[in-house]
Amino acid sequence: MAQIDFRNKINWHRRYRSPQGVKSEHEILRIFESDRGRIVNSPAIRRLQQKTQVFPLERNAAVRTRLTHSMEVQQVGRYIAKEILSRLKELRLLTEYGLDELTGPFESIVEMACLMHDIGNPPFGHFGEAAINDWFRQRLFPSDAASQPLSDDRCMVKALCLREGEEPLNDLRRKVRQDLCHFEGNAQGIRLVHTLMRMNLTWAQVGCILKYTRPAWWQGEPPASHDYLMKKPGYYFSEEAYIERLRKELSLSPFGRFPLTWIMEAADDISYCVADLEDAVEKRIFTVEELYQHLYEAWGHHEKGSLFAQVVENAFEKSRSNSFSHSTEDQFFMYLRVNTLNKLVPYAASRFIDNLPAIYAGEFNHALLEDDSSFSQLLELYKNVAMHHVFSHPDVEQLELQGYRVISGLLEIYQPLLQLTTEAFSELVEKERIKRLPIETRLFHKLSTRHRLAYVEAVSKIDRQSPSWPVMEFYFRCRLIQDYISGMTDLYAWDEYRKLMAVE
């Protein structure tokens, strides 16, 4: 394992207009303060206030949105980071690990990664992701491109069909078909930060949101050594060159992860597990008493002094001792959250430190809070109760199905832009209005300027005489549509769908 020196990981340089020369502790902190400002003030963060956490299109302001959830994750991430730094200080390891002058940036990178961790999520969460992927799979059939060219290839896009004797162009077609059918919120987050919003964050800050290390065009099983880290797609073909540069700048192995990303992941796991249950009580899916019963039964074998007794039972008893019955709910969740954090945060910190050589190298193939411990069991308890009693609730399932239909419907509405030939779409982009294409012209006008500019810039780098031009042009056109629809808030997507389907 490489020697642990965080000065080689907390890279404060940027892709463009990067600070130069040697910097003092104060100057480095200011660079990361600039990152904080860029992130907090970005439109992508503001849009999180109208994106789903669990309950789509929720009017009750007490129920979490992606933004309030992300703020809670930010606080937990900060808590874990501080706990790690305090322990390393007690062990007199801060200087040895190159962290003595980087404690401020260490905390800031974790906090801001926590705040940003959901910015790539489409409207209606995982159902929005599923709708995008299903829609593209039903038109591109990536499985038909897995082997040699097939006479019965079902791909509906002529430019992407494999053809005899056209390797390596067929490899590119395979890659593009696979990539477009694996939309993922984390990968979209990387694309937002770098390509669409040009936030020009430090390498370390972007590295911390690269949660999964699998390319979206990956086919087959990931290597066993990295199967957890490659559980989902982490970035798209469109950002391949940027991620290659990121790996170089942060000294990451091909499928390795940035060390502080494990902290962000643990903070998210801790936060959403309790939050989903609290929101379910707020929505009257069950009462606190019913929730406690669900948790008690799902835990299994009970012993005095068990982690369940220290965390859940303790919270329930304290809340019931309160003389004001109307505040029992608030009291229960306050104690449940405090008790959970007081147990899981120190455990996450100790797991980080105990496994630091593998984590620093980016090769620790697990989550911090996934092991055989009772701490992991507690998190699983929360997740299982939410799965069985919240996500399977008829109201939640109906809203998710509506969300799926909205996103599928919007893709259907914008399909005419994808059915144009490369030449016709290029002409539309250039002229912005074509008389013989009235529907396509109006749909094109509805796309946001930011997304259109990203498309124009991407295709301007491709040689139009190259055999790959039609493939890559169509690829970036699909990205344009995915960028636009995934960037909508739940409410905007809902309203847009109803307007364009003429149901108002």
- pLDDT digits 0-9 by tens, 461-480: 999 999 999 999 999 999 99
Between strands 214-215 and 233-235, the pairing is parallel
Alpha-carbon span 79 to 344, nearest angstrom? 11
Known catalytic residues?
A: 69, 117-118, 268, 442
Say whether pLDDT at 59 is over 80: no
Q: Please tell me the predicted confidence (pLDDT) of residue 167.
A: 85
Q: Please tell me the predicted confidence (pLDDT) of residue 64.
A: 86
Question: Mean per-residue pLDDT for 51-58?
Answer: 76
Alpha-carbon span 136 to 476, nearest angstrom? 14
Q: What region, left, alpha or beta, does residue 413 occupy, with left being phi > 0 and alpha being psi -120 to 50 degrees?
A: alpha
Mean pLDDT value across the chain: 94
Say whether pLDDT at 181 is over 80: yes
Q: Please tell me the predicted confidence (pLDDT) of residue 165.
A: 86
Question: Mean per-residue pLDDT for 198-223?
Answer: 97
Between CA 475 and CA 483, with CA 481 as vertex, the angle to 5 degrees is 95
Q: Are 120 and 189 in contact (CB under 8 A)?
A: yes
Say whether pLDDT at 60 is over 80: no
How many percent of the chain have pLDDT more than 70? 99
Alpha-carbon span 241 to 235, nearest angstrom? 11
Q: Please tell me the predicted confidence (pLDDT) of residue 110.
A: 98
Q: Record the pTM.
A: 0.96
Question: Mean per-residue pLDDT for 372-392?
Answer: 95
In this structure, of 116-120, 197-201, 318-322, the range with the lowest mean pLDDT score is 318-322
Q: Are 290 and 298 in contact (CB under 8 A)?
A: no
Alpha-carbon span 123 to 449, nearest angstrom? 20
Say whether pLDDT at 1 is over 60: no
Q: Please tell me the predicted confidence (pLDDT) of residue 3.
A: 93
Give residue-wise pLDDT tens across range 456-466: 999 999 999 99
Give residue-wise pLDDT tens across range 248-259: 999 999 999 999
Q: Please tell me the predicted confidence (pLDDT) of residue 325.
A: 58
Find the largest Cα–Cα distance for the chain. 79
Alpha-carbon span 244 to 56, nearest angstrom? 36
